[in-house]
Amino acid sequence: MRSPREPLFLARQSYRRRRVEDAARLLPLLGVVLFLLPLMVGGAIGNVRLAFVFSSWFFLILFAMLLARHLGRDSEQQSTGPQSKPVRPSEDPAGTR
């Protein structure tokens, strides 16, 4: 007889946490692409380039803040773990003394 197989899919919380970590790792790469984009486009006016760079900078900071908040909340939940109250000898669930 076969032993029971492990599930093929990850738990929903760990899967979401890994995707958020992946997004946090890709954020600097997105920043480099956004900052180099005005240099690659030659026809834009100087003020438009400047506005694009500063708006990109603002949104990168905003996304980093949201990702950090989400990752911090998940790590806080993992460190505390499930809350369980201590079992007193009079409330022994097994019924042994």
Reading the block at residue 53, the tokens are: 């760079």
According to the model, what pLDDT value does residue 64 have? Answer: 95
According to the model, what pLDDT value does residue 84 have? Answer: 47
Spatial separation of the C-alpha atoms in residues 75 and 17, rounded to whole Å: 9
Q: Given a cut of 70, is residue 37 above it in pLDDT?
A: yes
DSSP state, residue 96: -
- The separation between CA 4 and the C-alpha centre of its own chain, rounded to angstroms, equals 32
Assess contact for 56 and 35: CB atoms under 8 A: yes
Which helix H or strand E contains 79, and what residues bound it? Answer: helix 46-80
According to the model, what pLDDT value does residue 42 have? Answer: 72
How confident is the model over 13-22, as pLDDT tens digits?
A: 888 888 999 9
How confident is the model over 42-97, as pLDDT tens digits?
A: 766 778 888 999 999 999 999 999 999 988 886 666 666 555 455 555 655 565 65
* 14 vs 26, higher pLDDT: 26
According to the model, what pLDDT value does residue 26 have? Answer: 95
Assess contact for 49 and 38: CB atoms under 8 A: yes
